[in-house]
Amino acid sequence: MGKPILRVNKKFYEAKLLRRYSRFLLEVNLNNSTKRVYLANPGGLSTVLRKGRKVLLLKAKKDRRKSLYDVFAVKVKSFWVTVQSTLANRIFEAAVKEGYLAPFKGCRVIKKEVKVKGYGVIDFLLRRNGKPVFVEVKSCTHVEDGTAKFPDKPTGRGRRHVEKLIEYASHGFNCWIVFVVQRPDAEKFKPFWKVDKRFAESLNLASKTGVGIVAFTTEFKPTQNTIFMVKPSIPILLKNSLGESF
C-alpha cells in the first residue's frame, strides 16, 4: 500500500458523474438528484472524467459559492484519483516533512508561495544546511498505458514557472520541479509533447541546466481517509532513444 502521507479528516459524499458542465463544474447524481459541483482543476482530465464513474464530494463552505460541494476524487478502475490540483502542494509538503523523498532529505519547509518580484510566486522555499532550495510543484492526473504525462492542456503559466527555475539555477541555486501523480498506476513520467511542445522543450532545457526533476505516485484510500505514497520516484523520460521528442 505504501506509506501514509496525508490524512483527510472530512466526511465524503459519494455521487455518480454525469458530465463536465464547464471548466470548473461537474454535473453529478447525488441521492437521485442532479447537482452541479465545483471541480478545482482546470486540466483536461480526459483519462479521469467519464460518465458513470463514482465521485467523492466534500461539503463546501456555505458562504464561498453557489455550489454546495467540492469534487475530491474520481474512481478509475479499482482506485481513486484525487483531482484537486492544489492538493499536490499539501502532499509534497507532507512528504518532505516525513522524509519520504530522497532528493529532499534534510530539507525544511521555510516558506510557501514565495513572492518573486516581476514574476509572481514560487511554490516552496526549502532550506538544507543553510542553503535555499526552490521548488515548483505540479499536479498530474493524466496516465496512459502506465505513463504519467503533463500537462494535459497547454500551460503558458507552467512553462513560465520552469523558465524561472532555469534562471535561478543559472545563478547557482538548487531548484526542483516536482510532479505529484495523484493516482497509483503510473510507472514512468514524461512531458506531454503532443499537448504542449513548448512546455516539454522547457522541461528538457531545465534538466540540462541543473534543475532537478522528480515524479512520485500516490493513492487515496477512502476507507482510511488517507493519501499514501505508492512510489517515491518513477523514471523521467524526456526524449526517446533516438534523441527525438515524443
Residue 94, number of CB atoms within 10 A of its CB = 17
Nearest to 150 by CA among 122, 124, 180, 175: 180
Residue 6, number of CB atoms within 10 A of its CB = 20
Tell me what the pLDDT averaged over the chain comes to: 92
Grid cell digits, residue 53 = 464513474
pLDDT in tens, 100-148: 999 999 999 999 998 876 667 889 999 999 999 999 999 999 999 999 9
pLDDT at 245 exceeding the cut of 50: no
Q: What is the pLDDT of residue 103?
A: 96
pLDDT at 19 exceeding the cut of 50: yes
* SS3 (DSSP) at 122: strand
* CA separation for the pair 166, 96 (Å, rounded): 22
Arithmetic mean of pLDDT, 29-55: 95
Q: How far apart are the first and last CA of the chain?
A: 32
Grid cell digits, residue 74 = 474520481
Grid cell digits, residue 20 = 463536465
Name which of 76-85, 113-122, 145-154, 199-208 the model is least confident about: 113-122
* CA separation for the pair 206, 218 (Å, rounded): 25
* CA separation for the pair 229, 200 (Å, rounded): 26
Q: In one letter, which amino acid is 128? A: R
pTM for this structure? 0.93
Q: Where are the alpha helices (DSSP H) in the chain?
A: 87-98, 156-170, 197-208
* C-alpha distances out from residue 127 to 41, 86, 132, 188, Å: 29, 22, 5, 28
Q: What is the pLDDT of residue 115?
A: 82
pLDDT in tens, 172-194: 899 999 999 999 999 999 999 99
Q: What is the pLDDT of residue 119?
A: 62
- The confidence band for 60, taking pLDDT boundaries of 50, 70 and 90, is confident
Q: What is the pLDDT of residue 118?
A: 62
Q: What is the pLDDT of residue 65?
A: 61
Arithmetic mean of pLDDT, 60-89: 88
Q: Where are the alpha helices (DSSP H) in 67-146?
A: 87-98
Q: What is the pLDDT of residue 2?
A: 84
